[in-house]
Amino acid sequence: MLPIFPPVELINHAPLQQFTTFGVVAVCDHLYRVEDMEELKLAARYLERPLILGGGSNILPVGDVHRNVLRIELKGKEIVEDGPDPLVWAAAGENWHETVLWALGQDLGGIENLSLIPGTVGAAPLQNIGAYGVELESVFHSLEAIELTTGEIRTFTRDECRFGYRDSIFKQEARDRYIICGVFLRLHRDHQVNTSYGAIREVLEQKGITHPGIHEVSDAVISIRQSKLPDPAVIGNAGSFFKNPMIPVAKFEHLQALHPQLPGYPGNDGQVKVPAGWLIEKAGWKGKSIGPAGCYEKQALVLVNRGGATGLDIWNLAEEIMSAVRQMFDINLQPEVNIWK
């Protein structure tokens, strides 16, 4: 018997292609949309092990979903403590990019490099979103989350979130135990822009901008993303499908002897981070497709739905790519996207 929440909107047989950016056809038996904390508390209390959905920009449903899905639509954002480094709060259901634009409008710096990342504010700490030299953790202050078993609200500080590369406690031991309700960010009125990423410097140079501010950096990031990454409104995708793997230095040196062009960047714990896009391209998959599932021609790390692909089509392509990279480089790629099986 289904729990009944008169105040919570329920969609039976929800078409997940409308709620995820991959646009693969999949039906979810029960999708609940929560818009305020009271609804969220009710849902947390009554629904057993719900799957949590934000903007659906990092999810691949492989087949129909028979668990309850909870779509977090909590809204609101404000400066809660002003000063040289204001503390900003944003509700989990706010669109991330709109939050970046709002911060820019308030002349607040710190998240301009994270412009145009699809998804919601609540999903941002989950995987410590990052792009163009900046990760969320650099501005993250704390978050509030509701514990599913007790319905209690708990605060997590930055240390408690245990951020890593595309990682946090919410992908590890706290997985499926909390729903993030709102996030606090420490932003800055005295702007220190980060243009360390080569592509940003190139765009700024082309435009003749020598002293960029936060708006110029944001515009540069937006133009880089638009030139390399497919717009989910036009072609279904979830951004980078795989994480960039970290490998030991000795293994990197061995591979570089075989492939002198292999790029590598300093990673965690003295390891070397290798761009998965390069490995996939070298393994011959860039621009290739299996039926309607494709490896994007401008960025091999992005898998795309060329029209009518199922989650299984995309997953089968992902497995072929993982196997080709394993054979050629002895590296196991890990999906960055959450796979709903």
- Mask 322-341, x = binds ligand EPU (CB under 6 A)? --------------x-----
Closest to ligand EPU by CB, 31 vs 129, is 129
Q: Which residues of 205-228 are buried (b: 16+ CB within 10 A; e: fewer)?
A: eeeeeeebebebbbbbbbbbbeee
Closest to ligand EPU by CB, 169 vs 229, is 229
| Residue 240 designated active-site | yes
Type of residue numbered 13: H
Closest to ligand EPU by CB, 142 vs 305, is 305
Instruction: State the first-to-last Cα distance of the chain, in angstroms, to the nearest integer.
Output: 23
257's CB contacts (< 8 A; 6+ apart) are none
Number of residues this chain uses to bind ligand EPU (CB under 6 A): 18
Residues listed for the chain: 341
Residue tagged active-site, from 166, 168, 218, 225: 166
Residue 301 sits in the site that holds ligand EPU (CB under 6 A): yes
| Residue 189 designated active-site | no
Residue 111 sits in the site that holds ligand EPU (CB under 6 A): no
Binding ligand EPU by CB under 6 A: which of 19, 140, 252, 278?
278
Give the interface segment with ligand EPU, choosing from 16-24, 71-79, 179-187, 278-286 (CB under 6 A). Answer: 278-286
Query: Per DSSP, what are the bridge partners of residue 135?
Result: 130
Residue 115 sits in the site that holds ligand EPU (CB under 6 A): no
Residue 240 sits in the site that holds ligand EPU (CB under 6 A): yes
Give the interface segment with ligand EPU, choosing from 41-49, 86-94, 151-159, 296-304 (CB under 6 A). Answer: 296-304
Token output for 220: 């540069």
Token output for 39: 């609804």
Query: What is the DSSP pairing of strand 140-147 with strand 153-157?
Result: antiparallel
Residue 263 sits in the site that holds ligand EPU (CB under 6 A): yes
Q: Give CA–CA dist 65/228, Å, rounded.
A: 31
Nearest distance from residue 249's CB to ligand EPU, in Å? Answer: 19
Token output for 201: 């410097």
Q: Computed from CA positions of residues 191, 197, 203, 206, in that sequence, does the dihedral angle turn out positive or negative?
A: positive
Nearest distance from residue 222's CB to ligand EPU, in Å? Answer: 12
Q: Give CA–CA dist 218/193, Å, rounded.
A: 10
Give the interface segment with ligand EPU, choosing from 8-16, 141-149, 185-193, 277-285 (CB under 6 A). Answer: 277-285
| Residue 336 designated active-site | yes
Type of residue numbered 92: A
273, 331 contact by CB (below 8 A):
no
Q: Which residues are catalytic?
A: 166, 240, 336
Binding site for ligand EPU (CB under 6 A): 131-132, 228-229, 239-240, 243-244, 263, 275, 277-278, 281, 286, 299-301, 336
